[in-house]
């Protein structure tokens, strides 16, 4: 008997999760936040950690927006996982191109592993049952079938797509009859009564060669464009940056539409493991651990006489007093108060913010960078104050500004400050001044994060006032934010 094929997780990290605004935003989407469970692991980290114990488990392939590459790398480092690769999409092109790129990369060295395709932003409460279900699909996938994991419905949901099996479902892969778009309520009721329908989770298991062959047959343009993007990719530190022109010409199409709805090799395997796509705050209330009054409380929250609420604080104290069925989310620059029944409508608010150009629609006050983060505290007409955190061993780029001077005060750790070619060591409660036009850089040589307060002054304080001379993170695109 031939040995079992290795199992390579393909974790799709795209998406902005706008229905979880104000926490989830384009600059830091929901998959990078700790939203489920009592621990501090993010949804992405939980996606990887629940795989521990699977047979022949290989290093994961992660596919993400290039703007999030350092977030992904750092979150994998925090849980002690070294990815097989982090593939950077220059722009979103849906799941068929992402999976094609993963399959091409996985087979580039003559191997043919099983690919376990997962979304980075799902909640699965029963990890053991999830792993058992994956193992139950392994033989079918090794034999060339394309296995889709269908969620056993708990209600006649109209917000999900469905997969119909050719016969009532068993705990084994069953041939797929069809995929069905989101049904109306009566149709969803009939689906549940038949015993042949599951929700389409977007999770799959198949051999890399099998999905490539079906993509070549059914969506050849996807493979052609992705092969061009892979053949002309470029290494960027620990990342593989897909070639922009080839990838941009790829059809924007989901794997369901490109392959799964048209192939004769599809099989559905029912999964019953406490799954949720956490598509709204009400979904997080549904899956969260509630107190005796039905409340889910996260962060600095006090509830008195409140019932069936989701209350979350990221910074300030939130008090729920005698309220019912509310969602209250506090962040650094916005507070959402909504009835639980209206939680799905948050996306309309995000659209309004985007239309008006409001920064709260896209980014938080705290902005993450490969070296750490900065947080705008307060600003005036010709000045602003920021808190800057530089991770151990990290360094800002060597840069200068045309329109502003900076005064740095270190409040934690020890920094090395380079200023016009001269280095100085700046410790806690010490400061340094960066004159307008000075070529400068700050590095953290220590074992703990450097925290400092930066006071900027000048006629123009925009983040695009920079000339970058050197950068260890390969950020040569001057359209990117500074530092």
DSSP string computed for 50-67: TTTT-TTB-PPEEEEEGG
Rounded CA gap, 24 and 421, in Å? Answer: 41
Phi/psi at 235 (5° precision): -75, 135
Rounded CA gap, 122 and 358, in Å? Answer: 29
The SS3 assignment for 119 reads: strand
Residue 476's pLDDT is what?
A: 55
Residues forming a β-bridge with 400: 467
Residue 483's pLDDT is what?
A: 58
DSSP string computed for 324-393: BSEEEEE-SS-EEEEEGGGGGGHHHHHHHHHHHT-GGGT--SEEEETTEEEEEEEE-SSEEEEEEEE-TT
DSSP string computed for 218-245: H-HHHHHHHHHHHHT-EEETTEEE--HH
Residue 398's pLDDT is what?
A: 94
Residue 38's pLDDT is what?
A: 67
Question: 68, 13 in Cβ contact below 8 A?
Answer: yes
CA distances from 73 to 35, 76, 235, 481 (A): 19, 5, 14, 19
Question: Are both 7-276 and 366-470 of the same fold?
Answer: no
CA distances from 261 to 126, 149, 255, 264, 352 (A): 29, 14, 9, 9, 35
**Residues written for the chain:** 483
Phi/psi at 473 (5° precision): -100, 10
3.90.25.10, 3.30.70.260, 3.40.50.11540, 3.90.550.10: CATH of 7-276: 3.90.550.10
Question: What is the pLDDT tens value at each position of the chain, 483 positions in all?
Answer: 456 789 999 999 988 888 999 999 988 999 999 998 767 899 999 999 999 999 999 999 999 998 898 899 999 999 999 999 999 999 888 999 999 999 999 999 889 999 999 999 999 999 999 999 999 999 999 999 999 999 999 999 888 999 999 998 888 899 999 999 999 999 999 999 998 999 999 999 999 999 999 999 999 999 999 999 998 877 766 789 999 999 999 999 999 999 999 999 999 999 999 999 888 999 999 988 999 999 999 999 999 999 999 999 999 999 999 999 999 999 989 999 999 999 989 999 999 999 999 989 988 888 888 899 999 888 899 999 999 999 999 999 999 999 999 999 999 999 999 999 999 999 999 999 999 999 999 999 999 999 999 999 999 988 888 899 988 876 654 434 445
pTM: 0.87
Rounded CA gap, 14 and 255, in Å? Answer: 14
* Residue listed under structure tokens 């850089």: 441
CATH number, domain 366-470: 2.60.120.10
Q: Is the dihedral of CA 233, 235, 236, 240 positive or negative?
A: positive
Running DSSP on this structure, what letter comes out for residue 182?
P
Domain boundaries, the chain: 7-276, 281-356, 366-470
441-474: b or e for each residue (b if 16 or more CB lie within 10 Å)? bbbbebeeebbbebbbebeebeeebbebeebebe
Residue 481's pLDDT is what?
A: 45
> What is the distance between the terminal CA atoms of the chain, rounded to a whole angstrom?
55
Rounded CA gap, 214 and 210, in Å? Answer: 6
Rounded CA gap, 136 and 158, in Å? Answer: 28
| Angle 429-435-441 from CA coordinates, rounded to 5° | 65
Question: 277, 294 in Cβ contact below 8 A?
Answer: no
Rounded CA gap, 267 and 301, in Å? Answer: 46
């Amino acid at each position: 008997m031939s040995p079992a094929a290795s199992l390579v997780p393909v974790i799709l990290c795209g998406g902005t999760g706008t229905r979880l605004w104000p926490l989830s935003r384009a600059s830091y989407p929901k998959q990078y936040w700790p939203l489920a469970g009592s621990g501090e692991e993010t949804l992405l980290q939980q996606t990887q950690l629940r795989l521990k114990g699977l047979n022949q488990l290989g290093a994961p392939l992660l596919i993400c927006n290039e703007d999030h590459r350092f977030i992904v790398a750092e979150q994998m480092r925090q849980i002690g996982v070294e990815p097989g690769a982090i593939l950077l999409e220059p722009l979103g092109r849906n799941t068929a191109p992402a999976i094609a790129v993963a399959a091409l990369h996985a087979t580039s060295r003559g191997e043919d592993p099983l690919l376990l395709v997962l979304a980075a932003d799902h909640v699965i409460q029963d990890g053991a049952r999830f792993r058992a279900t994956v193992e139950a699909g392994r033989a079918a996938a090794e034999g060339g079938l394309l296995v889709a994991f269908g969620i056993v419905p708990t209600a006649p949901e109209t917000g999900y797509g469905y997969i119909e099996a050719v016969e009532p479902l068993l705990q084994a892969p069953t041939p797929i009859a069809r995929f069905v778009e989101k049904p109306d309520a009566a149709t969803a009721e009939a689906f549940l009564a038949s015993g042949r329908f599951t929700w389409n989770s977007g999770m799959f298991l198949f051999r890399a060669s099998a999905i490539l062959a079906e993509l070549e047959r059914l969506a050849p343009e996807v493979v052609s464009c992705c092969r061009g993007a892979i053949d002309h990719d470029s290494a960027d530190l620990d990342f593989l940056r897909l070639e922009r022109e080839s990838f941009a010409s790829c059809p924007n199409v989901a794997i369901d539409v490109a392959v799964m709805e048209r192939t004769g090799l599809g099989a559905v395997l029912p999964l019953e493991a406490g799954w949720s796509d956490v598509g709204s705050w009400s979904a997080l209330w549904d899956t969260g651990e509630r107190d005796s009054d039905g409340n889910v409380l996260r962060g600095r929250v006090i509830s008195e006489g409140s019932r069936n609420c989701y209350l979350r604080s990221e910074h300030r104290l939130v008090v729920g007093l005698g309220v019912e069925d509310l969602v209250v989310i506090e962040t650094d620059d916005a507070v959402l108060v909504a009835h639980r029944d209206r939680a799905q409508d948050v996306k309309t608010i995000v659209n309004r913010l985007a239309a008006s150009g409001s920064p709260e629609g896209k980014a938080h006050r705290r902005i993450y960078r490969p070296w750490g983060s900065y947080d705008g505290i307060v600003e005036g007409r010709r000045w602003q104050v920021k808190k800057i955190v530089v991770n151990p061993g990290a360094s800002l780029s060597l840069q200068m500004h045309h329109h502003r001077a900076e005064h740095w005060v270190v409040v934690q750790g020890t920094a090395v400050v380079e200023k016009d070619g001269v280095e100085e060591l700046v410790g806690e409660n010490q400061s340094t001044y960066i004159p307008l036009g000075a070529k400068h850089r700050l590095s953290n040589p220590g074992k703990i994060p450097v925290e400092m307060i930066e006071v900027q002054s000048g006629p123009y304080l925009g983040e695009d006032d920079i000339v970058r001379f050197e950068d260890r993170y390969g950020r040569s695109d001057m359209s990117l934010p500074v530092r």
